[in-house]
């Protein structure tokens, strides 16, 4: 390798180090030189100066609200008084939440729907991404990709319109099909047992295409020489997938799984708000919808914030646990 | 060196803009309209005007809040107040920005809002007008008050929200603005005042209803004839009619595509079918044998839900009867698939006539059903009437500037019936907006009607202008509106007649006007009851569990409300 190319090799090492979390510093690919933070700031003060707006953005729009949320969760927010002037109530908001008769059902529904989303929504994008990756005809691949990406850009209102068009009793496509085969029409939208399949199915239809993007990006980095070598060695498509494709995208899969686990208590409130009705509330009411009704519509902002805090803490704990086990089992984690 | 300086400058500018963006107060935006008003801005804008009031008010004949006199009933013949004298307290010299939020039915801004322009010019104001669906209005209102960006005026449909905002110290006591509203004071009756008073404070100003007790059950009388049936009087007769409508093909097309009714509430409650509860008893809080009573306590709700279950089990209700939205359900009704609806009479006839391509015979299809009773021979009663059509709330912030408060009072009062500018914002614009198409004719009995060329007006009223129609939420009422009787509008006369008939039916006493129950508890109970009521109707809960359900209802807040209601109505506990 020529001398001129060495710096770029160094940069690659830095990026890799950033992903793997190794202690190798930017200044010393070998990890020999270590400078204090202040010295590094002095040396690259222009770059750090440019970083200030980014830092300020995160502090003002991300961390400050988190701090406020922590405070509000332990206060009874009075609109006229503001966050800091409102009286402290200790754990009263959390007591109110957990003493509410709705909460056991709401938490159970949240976890069940989230797990269903995770189970049903995790593998299909990976499979679809691998199928796209292995597709020989580029034009067909692009056409199909566009087709599956489009639903992502539909709002949930439109998606519900489509669902209503499919499952309504009067003129719904599914009921028309049932009727044409001599079966009775069924009130799918009033049937609790059908609520979740319709919810998960429509969410999958909307997001499956978009979710493939991250896996396709990961697949695009796999060295094509590996596949060529495998073919020469006699590996068939399934073996190539097992021994090359899947191991290559495993870090991304682990990352996505960990992140998704962090949202276990966020079961997709916006979609459910549009899809549910009183008849299916026992299977549909989740934390987000409960917070929407109790917090926003009834001016109980402290209660809503306390629930949000609870969701965040559980989510963080799940991410940490997932990351721990991912590292333990596969040696890879997100940090 | 130049590069570094540039980088530093850009970074500092970015930081500054970020900090400014984070610290800016959205509420200021609503007043910034004044800056674009040229000379008007120079006249003072929204600066507090604490000096005015006091002596000036006395000179203008403004009474003190404690001297307000609330009438016992609406005037028999409403008359416009003496405009110049009534608003002499407002010198109109300054321009104010008024931020108004209302629940509309178009809920999209008009590209050229001529009504807004007229109001702005006439009242020397800059208006910020937000029209939203009822649910969005509540959420948006709450968010705006919570974020310190309170609107000046909100017209809420739900009193409980007004109570909650008042308790949070966000609203002005209504008696502080009512002395400036002489027209409004002709109809804020003692009963209305009680309704809007919570813990001794009037949390808002009750609004006249748009549809004053004109909603009633309407039946297909052509189908009754065809089926050889009489007008139903009891629950059993209603059920027999429902069964006949669904099973005997009254439209004669040979297809099983006619149904009795539908809720059309979008999956939230029983919508237009809620009116059937009146057959079985009082639908709300009442006093029975000197004891407090509620439909959950005396079996009214149980009987009603059993009846609904019977209709559902026999497949007599329209497809998607519970989840379908109101507008979608109209397609069934107007395409002759539905045997009974709950509607205002005039609107039903007008919509049916339009949907049938002006077939005058369709007007005879519908007739109002006299109050029904579960028991033969017993007098049926319509639901309690006389309720307000919402509540105007004024933010405390708006009240901090006396000059602005007076302008708000002036504006709101001037658009009440039959004041000088009442017609401006109604029906998408009155004669002031559409002088070529609309004329108002006032009658001696205090009523009025529009003499308008609807065909031309609708042609002129482009889709992008439809948002203007939401201005009528501000003050429109049908209490005193009549229609022009003429062969080219054949639905007007029978429509008015049906509304008069429905309004004249005997009604249950409205105890809710005397009650101020705990708003959050009422709302929480609403969620609880709605999900359980549909569960009983669909058979997910058995009526064998009814007593258990009543106990659950009491624990969920019913007991608390029973105590409050008994105390406020001075009745014994059940």
Minimum distance, in Å, between the CA of residue B306 and any CA atom of chain A = 16
* Average pLDDT of the residues in A92-103: 89
User: Do B93 and B118 meet the contact criterion of CB atoms below 8 Å apart?
Assistant: no
Best B3, B6, B11, B140 member to test A by mutation, with max A CBs in 10 Å, is B11
Supply φ then ψ for residue B143, to 5 degrees: -65, -40
Contact B14 A53 (CB under 8 A): yes
**Structural tokens at position B355:** 């949907």
B211-236 pLDDT tens trace: 999 999 999 999 999 999 999 999 99
Q: Which residues of chain B have a CB within 8 Å of the CB of A193?
A: none
Q: Which residues of chain A have a CB within 8 Å of the CB of B540?
A: 192, 279
Residue B84, pLDDT > 80, answer yes
Q: Of B322, B303, B350, nearest to B488 (Cα)?
A: B350
Nearest to B15 among A53, A189, A281 (CB): A53
* Average pLDDT of the residues in B46-64: 65
Residue A112 to residue A105: CA distance in whole angstroms: 10
Contact B138 A297 (CB under 8 A): yes
- SS3 readout for A249-285: HHHHHHHHHHHHHHCCCCCCHHHHHHHCCHHHHHHHC
* Average pLDDT of the residues in A165-176: 92
- If you measure CA to CA, which chain A residue comes closest to B143? A296
When mean pLDDT is compared over A22-31, A135-144, B385-394, the highest value belongs to B385-394
Residue B275 to residue B269: CA distance in whole angstroms: 12
Minimum distance, in Å, between the CA of residue B316 and any CA atom of chain A = 13
Residue A200, pLDDT > 80, answer yes
Q: Which residues of chain A have a CB within 8 Å of the CB of B318?
A: 170
Best B267, B331, B397 member to test A by mutation, with max A CBs in 10 Å, is B267
Q: Of B393, B446, B322, B412, nearest to B171 (Cα)?
A: B393
- If you measure CA to CA, which chain A residue comes closest to B6? A46
C-alpha B527, offset from chain centre: 21
What string of DSSP letters covers B62-107? PPPGGG----SS--SS-----HHHHTTT----S-EEEEEEEE-SS-
Best B263, B320, B400 member to test A by mutation, with max A CBs in 10 Å, is B320
Minimum distance, in Å, between the CA of residue A250 and any CA atom of chain B = 39
Question: Cβ of B4 under 8 Å from any chain A Cβ?
Answer: yes
Minimum distance, in Å, between the CA of residue B532 and any CA atom of chain A = 8
Please state which of the ranges A36-40, B313-317, B320-324 shows the lowest mean pLDDT.
A36-40
Please state which of the ranges A47-51, B550-554, B562-566 shows the lowest mean pLDDT.
A47-51
Specify the higher pLDDT residue, A82 or B80.
B80
Residue B430, pLDDT > 70, answer yes
Q: Which residues of chain B have a CB within 8 Å of the CB of A45?
A: none
pLDDT at A99: 87
Which residues of chain A form CATH 1.10.3720.10?
100-330
What does the mean pLDDT of chain B come to?
A: 89
Q: Which residues of chain B have a CB within 8 Å of the CB of A302?
A: none
User: Do B284 and B291 meet the contact criterion of CB atoms below 8 Å apart?
Assistant: no
pLDDT at A259: 85
Contact A49 B14 (CB under 8 A): no
Predicted ipTM of the assembly:
0.76
Contact A277 B138 (CB under 8 A): no
User: Do A332 and A218 meet the contact criterion of CB atoms below 8 Å apart?
Assistant: no
Please state which of the ranges B53-62, B127-136, B314-323 shows the lowest mean pLDDT.
B53-62
pLDDT at B76: 87
* Average pLDDT of the residues in A144-165: 94
Q: Which residues of chain B have a CB within 8 Å of the CB of A189?
A: 267, 320, 323
pLDDT at A85: 87
The residues pairing with A82 across neighbouring beta strands, listed in sequence order, are: A78
Strands B205-206, B197-198: pairing kind? unpaired
Specify the higher pLDDT residue, B504 or A326.
B504
pLDDT at A63: 92
Which residues, in sequence order, are CB contacts of A186 under 8 Å at separation 6+? A169, A175, A178, A194
- If you measure CA to CA, which chain A residue comes closest to B524? A294
**Structural tokens at position A80:** 């006229």
pLDDT at A12: 38
Specify the higher pLDDT residue, B454 or B463.
B463
Best A51, A56, A79 member to test B by mutation, with max B CBs in 10 Å, is A79
pLDDT at B30: 41
Question: Cβ of B176 under 8 Å from any chain A Cβ?
Answer: no
Band (pLDDT 50/70/90 cuts) for residue B17 is: low
Best A77, A185, A190 member to test B by mutation, with max B CBs in 10 Å, is A190
Best B20, B156, B319, B324 member to test A by mutation, with max A CBs in 10 Å, is B319
Q: Of B416, B411, B406, nearest to B177 (Cα)?
A: B406
pLDDT at B553: 96
In the block, tokens 């062969």 appear at: B487
Q: Which residues of chain A have a CB within 8 Å of the CB of B322?
A: 190, 277-279
Tally of residues, chain A: 335
- The A residues from 65 to 104 touching B (CB cutoff 8 Å) are 77-80, 82, 101
- The B residues from 13 to 32 touching A (CB cutoff 8 Å) are 14-15, 18-19, 22
Q: Which residues of chain A have a CB within 8 Å of the CB of B269?
A: 278
- If you measure CA to CA, which chain B residue comes closest to A191? B538
User: Do B529 and B402 meet the contact criterion of CB atoms below 8 Å apart?
Assistant: no
Q: Of A248, A237, A196, A213, nearest to A125 (Cα)?
A: A213
pLDDT at A45: 87
Band (pLDDT 50/70/90 cuts) for residue B106 is: confident
B386-426 pLDDT tens trace: 999 999 999 999 999 999 999 999 999 999 999 999 999 98
The residues pairing with B338 across neighbouring beta strands, listed in sequence order, are: B259
Nearest to B523 among A169, A171, A298 (CB): A298
Which residues, in sequence order, are CB contacts of B95 under 8 Å at separation 6+? B34, B37, B40, B41, B43, B44, B45, B124, B125, B126
The superfamily CATH assigns to domain A100-330 is MetI-like (1.10.3720.10)
pLDDT at A34: 62
Nearest to B323 among A82, A189, A297 (CB): A189
- The A residues from 167 to 186 touching B (CB cutoff 8 Å) are 168-171, 185
Q: Which residues of chain A have a CB within 8 Å of the CB of B538?
A: 190, 279
Band (pLDDT 50/70/90 cuts) for residue A81 is: confident
Q: How far apart are the first and last CA of chain A?
A: 32
Residue B312 to residue B78: CA distance in whole angstroms: 46
Band (pLDDT 50/70/90 cuts) for residue B1 is: low
- If you measure CA to CA, which chain B residue comes closest to A79? B146
Q: Which residues of chain A have a CB within 8 Å of the CB of B8?
A: 46, 49
Minimum distance, in Å, between the CA of residue A63 and any CA atom of chain B = 13
Which residues, in sequence order, are CB contacts of B89 under 8 Å at separation 6+? B56, B57, B60, B62, B180, B406
pLDDT at A13: 40
pLDDT at B7: 62
Band (pLDDT 50/70/90 cuts) for residue B5 is: confident
Q: Which residues of chain A have a CB within 8 Å of the CB of B137?
A: none
Nearest to A279 among B8, B11, B538 (CB): B538
Q: Which residues of chain A have a CB within 8 Å of the CB of B146?
A: 77, 79, 299, 301
The sign one gets for the Cα dihedral B570, B565, B139, B347 is: negative
Tally of residues, chain B: 574
Question: Cβ of B318 under 8 Å from any chain A Cβ?
Answer: yes
**Structural tokens at position A149:** 């990406």
């Amino acid at each position: 390798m020529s001398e001129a190319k060495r710096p770029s090799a160094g940069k690659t090492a830095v990026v890799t180090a950033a992903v793997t979390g190794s202690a190798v510093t930017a200044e010393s690919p070998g990890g020999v030189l270590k400078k204090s933070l202040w010295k590094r700031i002095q040396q690259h003060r222009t770059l750090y100066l440019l970083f200030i707006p980014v830092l300020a953005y995160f502090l003002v729009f991300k961390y400050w609200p988190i701090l406020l949320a922590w405070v509000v969760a332990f206060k009874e927010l009075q609109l006229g008084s503001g966050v800091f002037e409102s009286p402290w109530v200790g754990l009263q908001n959390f007591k109110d939440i957990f003493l509410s008769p709705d909460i056991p059902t709401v938490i159970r529904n949240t976890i069940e729907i989230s797990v269903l989303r995770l189970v049903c929504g995790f593998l299909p994008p990976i499979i679809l991404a691998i199928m796209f990756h292995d597709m020989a005809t580029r034009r067909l691949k692009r056409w199909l990709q566009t087709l599956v990406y489009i639903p992502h850009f539909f709002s949930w209102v439109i998606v519900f319109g489509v669902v209503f068009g499919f499952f309504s009793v009067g003129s719904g496509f599914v009921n028309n099909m049932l009727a044409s085969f001599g079966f009775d029409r069924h009130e799918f939208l009033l049937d609790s047992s059908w609520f979740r399949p319709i919810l998960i199915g429509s969410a999958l239809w909307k997001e499956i295409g978009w979710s493939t993007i991250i896996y396709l990006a990961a697949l695009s980095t796999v060295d094509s020489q590996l596949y060529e070598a495998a073919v020469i060695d006699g590996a068939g498509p399934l073996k190539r997938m097992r021994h090359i494709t899947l191991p290559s995208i495993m870090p991304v899969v682990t990352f996505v799984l960990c992140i998704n686990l962090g949202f276990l208590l966020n079961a997709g409130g916006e979609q459910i708000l549009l899809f549910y009705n009183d008849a299916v509330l026992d299977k549909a009411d989740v934390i987000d919808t409960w917070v929407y009704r109790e917090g926003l519509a009834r001016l109980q902002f402290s209660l809503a914030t306390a629930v949000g805090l609870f969701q965040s803490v559980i989510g963080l704990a799940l991410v940490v646990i997932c990351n721990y086990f991912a590292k333990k089992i596969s040696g890879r984690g997100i940090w | 060196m130049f590069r570094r300086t540039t980088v530093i400058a850009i970074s500092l500018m970015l930081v500054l803009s970020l900090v400014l963006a984070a610290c800016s107060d959205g509420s200021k935006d609503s007043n910034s309209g004044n800056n674009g008003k040229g000379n008007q801005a120079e006249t003072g804008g929204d600066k507090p005007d604490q000096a005015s009031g006091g002596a000036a008010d006395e000179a203008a004949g403004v009474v003190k809040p404690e001297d307000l006199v609330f009438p016992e009933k609406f005037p028999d013949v409403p008359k416009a107040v003496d405009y110049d004298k009534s608003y002499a307290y407002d010198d109109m010299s300054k321009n104010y920005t008024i931020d108004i939020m209302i629940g509309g039915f178009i809920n999209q801004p008009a590209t050229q809002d001529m009504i807004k322009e007229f109001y702005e010019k006439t009242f020397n104001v800059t208006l910020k007008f937000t029209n939203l669906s009822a649910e969005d209005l509540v959420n948006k209102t709450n968010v705006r008050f919570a974020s310190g960006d309170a609107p000046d005026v909100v017209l809420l449909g739900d009193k409980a929200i007004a109570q909650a905002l008042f308790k949070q110290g966000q609203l002005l006591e209504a008696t502080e603005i009512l002395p400036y509203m002489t027209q409004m004071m002709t109809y804020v009756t003692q009963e209305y005042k009680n309704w809007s008073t919570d813990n001794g404070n009037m949390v808002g100003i009750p609004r006249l209803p748009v549809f004053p007790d004109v909603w009633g059950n309407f039946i297909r009388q052509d189908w009754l004839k065809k089926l050889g049936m009489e007008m139903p009087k009891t629950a059993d007769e209603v059920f027999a009619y429902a069964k006949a409508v669904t099973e005997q093909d009254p439209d004669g097309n040979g297809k099983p595509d006619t149904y009795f009714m539908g809720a059309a509430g979008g999956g939230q409650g029983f919508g237009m079918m809620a009116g059937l509860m009146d057959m079985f008893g009082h639908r709300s809080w009442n006093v029975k044998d000197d004891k407090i009573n509620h439909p959950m306590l005396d079996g009214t709700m149980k009987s009603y839900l059993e009846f609904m279950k019977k209709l559902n089990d026999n497949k007599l209700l329209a497809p998607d009867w519970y989840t379908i939205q109101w507008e979608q359900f109209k397609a069934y009704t107007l395409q002759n698939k539905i045997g009974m609806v709950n509607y205002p009479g005039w609107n039903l006839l007008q919509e049916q006539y339009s949907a049938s391509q002006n077939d005058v015979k369709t007007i005879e299809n519908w007739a109002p059903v006299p109050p029904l009773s579960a028991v033969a021979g017993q007098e049926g009663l319509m639901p309690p009437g006389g309720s307000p059509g919402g509540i105007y709330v004024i933010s405390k912030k708006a009240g901090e500037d006396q000059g602005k408060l007076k302008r708000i009072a002036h504006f709101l009062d001037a658009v009440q019936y039959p004041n000088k500018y009442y017609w401006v914002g109604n029906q998408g614009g009155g004669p002031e907006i559409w002088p070529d198409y609309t004329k108002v004719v006032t009658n001696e009995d205090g009523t009025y009607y529009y003499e308008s060329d609807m065909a031309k007006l609708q042609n002129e009223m482009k889709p992008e202008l439809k948002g203007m129609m939401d201005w009528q939420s501000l003050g429109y009422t049908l209490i005193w509106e009549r229609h022009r009787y003429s062969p080219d509008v054949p639905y007007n006369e029978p429509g008015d007649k049906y509304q008069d008939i429905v309004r004249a039916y005997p009604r249950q006493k409205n105890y809710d006007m005397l009650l101020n129950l705990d708003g959050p508890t009422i709302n929480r109970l609403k969620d609880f009851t709605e999900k359980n009521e549909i569960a009983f109707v669909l058979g997910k809960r058995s009526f064998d569990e009814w007593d258990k359900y009543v106990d659950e209802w009491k624990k969920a807040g019913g007991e608390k409300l029973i105590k409050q209601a008994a105390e406020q109505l001075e009745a014994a506990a059940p």
